[in-house]
Amino acid sequence: MNERGRVLVTAAELARLIDAGELVSILDVRWRLDAPDGRTSHLEGHIPGAVYVSLEDDLSDHTVAGRGRHPLPSGASLQESLRRWGVRDGVPVVVYDDWNRAGSGRAWWVLTAAGLTDVRILDGGLPAWCGAGGHLETGPVTPPTGNVTVPHDDLYAGAQPTLTAEEAGTANMPLFDARAPERFRGDVEPVDAVAGHIPGAKNLPFGSLLTADAAFLGAKELQTLLSENGIKQGEPVGTYCGSGITAAVVVAALAAAGQRAALFPGSWSEWSSDPQRPVERG
């Protein structure tokens, strides 16, 4: 399996797994910035067997202070959630959403940071599934309790590389801001109290790594984009966004191209919460 196949699964490939009766845990991580709870949409129609996962409640721990708007959960709490979702040791996991890969990107990053080794994002999300003729089922899904073991309790020091605020500010590697250009420049800031970006960061909007229908760019197109942004194969890079959600899409896209990237989980919401930290605009 190539690097892309380790990160992404197509709708056709997922359909073949299901039709063949292969064991696979499917997690529905529908989330939008303006509509963070996707439960209703899940109940109205989801991929057969898919279990709903709340990005806000299950993939974040809002009791943690000082780590931005979406602090990472502990491995212990994540293991409890994974078992509730029916995830078992040795069984592959597929995550999907219906928007812009933010929900599934976050899920992929959190689960792989926790040490799960076979987690893939449904490329193109739910629209790709429906477009390929995949059918949906309605109502809740309650799977048998899983037995998966999470190797890492501290996801900030888990199986995925991360940056602290201090490391993000040292600029000893290329640092990319995954937010929209107007937020990067500081023209607007609809969520956090301070507008701007971390000094020295370059803007690489996560949407630029996706096609018009929110599938990941093909390998050749992705490599071209990375080269245009000065990212050399094997060179350490870092990325951040508003709160560690959409930057996870950048990490996933780079991983699909064989490039590891370190995530600053607290991102701009953590950086800008300290008035002593410098801010750059423009």
Residue positions annotated with a catalytic role = 241
- The C-alpha atoms of residue 172 and residue 167 are separated, in whole angstroms, by 8
Characterize the bridge pairing of strands 119-122 and 175-177.
unpaired
Do 116 and 93 contact (CB within 8 A), yes or no? Answer: yes
Structure tokens at 80: 């409890």
| Cα 24 to Cα 4: distance, rounded to the nearest angstrom | 19
The one-character DSSP state at 49 is T
Write b or e for each residue in 235-245: b if 16 or more Cβ atoms lie within 10 A of its Cβ, otherwise e: eebbbbbbbbb
**Cα 99 to the center of its chain, rounded Å:** 12
Residue 251 CA, chain-centre distance (Å), reads 8
